[in-house]
Chain A
Amino acid sequence: MDHEQAFELLPGYIDEELSLSEALEFERHLAGCELCTQAYEQQRQVSARLREADMRVDAPPELVRRIRAALPVRRSLWQRLGERFGGLTVFGGAFGGAGSGNGGAKALGWAPLGAMVVSLVALTWSAGLYLTTPSGDTRLTEELVDSHVRSLQFDHLYDVISTDRHTVKPWFDGKIDFAPPVVDLAQQGYPLVGGRLDYLNGRSVAVMVYRYKLHPINLYVWPGNDAGATPHIYERQGYHLAHWSAAGMNYWAVTDAGDAELDGFITGLRAHSAS
């Protein structure tokens, strides 16, 4: 073991994190190396002083109370979080959080375009799919929009980042008690970018994250048959949501992209699942 190698292992020796053979080799080197001996003494003393100084401070009782009181009632806290980060419908936040290096200027440029798409679509494309909000679903759609927005704000869009469905699908194994269908829609213009676990409607759900251009699409999936096979499209706070059930799974897609884009996504997804 040369000096450089030994020096690297020095912290591990202090912390007793070396294997026995490493520790023995290190000791052999230490015995004949002044530099290492000096560094060893310094580091050991620093470690001891930090531990002696007792620099831990317990959580203040008010924080304990605050968290305890807050936990079961999640919505009010989410709202509080929304306030903290300055509003729930921030396009800049969405892009800044989702893409790396997309500046605020770019994000601003998209907002009017998004609005245009929405109004254009609302005018010309109201045939088959219509905007309804049955009261029973209202709470859930709110929760979904919150969840979607938070996933962007917290920069926690995905737990597993991969464009490969053979990576994303196995990632869910053992984390949830069902196997969400994961498909690749890159050819249709909706590349898969990752997946994550989320907590929704009182249960753990799988979320596959796709992208249409710069717009993230969160696809929430959990077992059940709450809706028909025909997707219902909702609009809420400028976001578009779609809800349908297929093959024993409930699907919710949420995005800030226009509903035509969302419809294209759903069509691609359903065609893929059917094949």
Chain B
Amino acid sequence: MADPIIAKRFEALLLPHMNSAFNVARWLTRNDQDAQDVVQEAYLRAFRYFGGFRGEDARAWLLSIVRNTFYTWHQQNRDHAADTTEFEEEMHSLEEIGAAGQDDSPEAALIRSQSQKRVHKALRSLRLEFREVVVLRELEDLSYKEIAAIVGIPMGTVMSRLGRGRQQLAALLAPTDQEA
């Protein structure tokens, strides 16, 4: 049914960006299983709208679809939002980070893992509108222009949201840092 040439082109252009798609979905949904569902749906949508893709930046194009898919999902699931399960990967990945310490003593690794855990939690608690631009900028390393296109806001708004997001993160991270 689907044109095999189109399917091939789609695979070549968009499958390489699945890690980015998953990462963004994961930080938007804050749940691994939901992130997987969002990404899978996003790929289906992307395939459907692939005719409208004119060879611009494939990753930005895909991420805008991931974001839209997420918001559809978010609206439908708002009622259940309260009882979503925790970030399953959180503890797991933190252990990994701790284990992968360069040449440190166990104490140093522990401190670093605690610090990372705080960063993790802080970003997780950030309001969605700030979280998404921070994730696109700091984790996906996208330009303001790309973020503006993905989120559908002017570049000036990208800048101000990033500023406010970082400022909030700084506030969240500041007091506990001094204890550590």
Chain A contact residues, CB within 8 Å of chain B? 7-12, 15, 17, 39, 42-43, 45-47, 49-51, 53-60, 63-64, 66-68, 70-75, 77-78, 81, 84-85, 154-156, 159, 174-176, 197-199, 202-205
B26-37 interface code vs A (CB 8 A; 1 in, 0 out): 110000100011
**Are A199 and B50 neighbours in the complex by a CB distance under 8 Å?**
yes
Determine which of B3, B32, B47, B159 lies in contact with A11 in the assembled complex, contact meaning CB atoms within 8 Å: B159
Docked pose: A156 CA to B69 CA in angstroms: 10
**Are B39 and A67 neighbours in the complex by a CB distance under 8 Å?**
yes
> Could you list 25 examples of A-B contacts with CB < 8 Å?
A8-B160, A11-B163, A45-B170, A46-B169, A50-B139, A51-B138, A51-B139, A53-B116, A53-B120, A55-B27, A55-B120, A56-B23, A59-B39, A63-B36, A67-B39, A67-B40, A70-B40, A70-B43, A73-B1, A74-B44, A85-B76, A155-B72, A197-B51, A198-B48, A202-B1
Docked pose: A8 CA to B155 CA in angstroms: 12
Determine which of A50, A58, A66, A155 lies in contact with B138 in the assembled complex, contact meaning CB atoms within 8 Å: A50
**Are A71 and B11 neighbours in the complex by a CB distance under 8 Å?**
yes
- Extra pairs beyond A46-B173, A159-B49 (15, CB < 8 Å): A49-B115, A50-B169, A51-B139, A59-B18, A59-B39, A70-B43, A71-B2, A71-B11, A72-B7, A74-B47, A155-B75, A159-B52, A175-B52, A202-B2, A203-B3
Q: In this complex, what residue of B is CB-closest to A204?
A: B51
Decide yes or no whether B22 CB sits under 8 A from chain A.
yes
**Are B143 and A17 neighbours in the complex by a CB distance under 8 Å?**
yes
Residues 134 to 180 of chain B near chain A (Cβ within 8 Å) = 134, 137-139, 143-144, 155-156, 159-160, 162-163, 166-167, 169-170, 173-174
**Distance from B101 Cβ to chain A, minimum over Cβ atoms (Å):** 12
**Distance from A269 Cβ to chain B, minimum over Cβ atoms (Å):** 23
**Distance from B143 Cβ to chain A, minimum over Cβ atoms (Å):** 7
Looking at chain B's contact residues, the main secondary structure is helix
Question: A-B pairs with the 5 shortest C-beta distances?
Answer: A204-B51, A59-B22, A42-B170, A11-B163, A197-B52
Q: In this complex, what residue of B is CB-closest to A49?
A: B119
Q: In this complex, what residue of A is CB-closest to B89?
A: A57
Q: In this complex, what residue of B is CB-closest to A154?
A: B72
**Are B97 and A54 neighbours in the complex by a CB distance under 8 Å?**
yes
**Distance from A207 Cβ to chain B, minimum over Cβ atoms (Å):** 11
**Are B138 and A47 neighbours in the complex by a CB distance under 8 Å?**
yes
Q: In this complex, what residue of A is CB-closest to B52?
A: A197
**Distance from A232 Cβ to chain B, minimum over Cβ atoms (Å):** 22
Docked pose: A67 CA to B10 CA in angstroms: 12
